[in-house]
Amino acid sequence: MKKKLCLAALISFLLIFNSCLGLSLDITMNKDGSGRMVMEYRISQMLENMGAFDGNESMPTIPLSREDWTKAFERNSGVKLVSYSSKKDKQDTIINIALDFKDEAALLSLLDPFGEKVSVKQKDGSGTLEIILLDDSLSFNEDEISLTRMLMDGYNFSVSFQTPGNSVLAISDGKGRTIPNPPAAVVVLTGKKVSFSTEMTAIFDFKNGLGLKFTW
């Protein structure tokens, strides 16, 4: 975990362990299983200045530079870094990347090489992509919740998925069981592009975890 980049772990990390972060993920899959993933993530300059990512063995490696991303996939011929940009505003460092994947196996290696939180199956233009963002083992005390809600304010998390045809999105708990649409989330459940978006502060509403299942 400390040596390999795992986007599923990065997503969970952004949602659980670090309050001043936001993430937007957009996945496009072609009929042959290839596709592109575009990601924007925001890192609080306050955390960077405090050295929150420097030598902290309890945290997954967060890639910050183009070199970090290039090295992460230099031995993976199925994933290619297409573009990278980084800029700063008054509050955050904002990083945008685009990654091409050659097939569903490459997408899985990109999202979760350990196969613990993500599964993807594709055959004859149809398939499923399931991502467990949060399991059901979250445990916070009231002080942690109050502080993290304050720090998370203003940050968002979103995932979108599209294929040449129509797709369907199902929301689940941390064990993959379908649940009603969370009231704090904005969702598009069917269509050319399906999506899930919520404020980071809504994390504490998912008492039994959170998963997203895309079918097409």
User: Residue written as tokens 């350990």?
Assistant: 114
Residue ranges per structural domain of the chain: 7-215
Confidence band of 18 (pLDDT split at 50, 70, 90): very low
Question: Where residue 215 falls among pLDDT bands split at 50, 70, 90?
Answer: very high
For position 19, what pLDDT does the model report? 42
Question: Both tokens of residue 53?
Answer: 């990512």
In the block, tokens 């369907």 appear at 168
Distance CA 42, CA 150 (A): 17
pLDDT in tens, 177-194: 999 988 889 999 999 999
* Mean predicted confidence (pLDDT) in 39-48: 78
Parallel/antiparallel/unpaired status of strands 190-199 and 21-29: unpaired
The two structure tokens encoding residue 210: 């959170």
Among candidates 113, 158, 172, 117, which has minimal Cα distance to 14? 158
114 secondary structure, DSSP code: T
* Beta strand 185-188 pairing with 190-199: antiparallel
Q: What is the pTM of this model?
A: 0.83
Rounded to a whole number of angstroms, the distance between the first and last alpha carbons of the chain is 31
Q: Are 80 and 73 in contact (CB under 8 A)?
A: yes
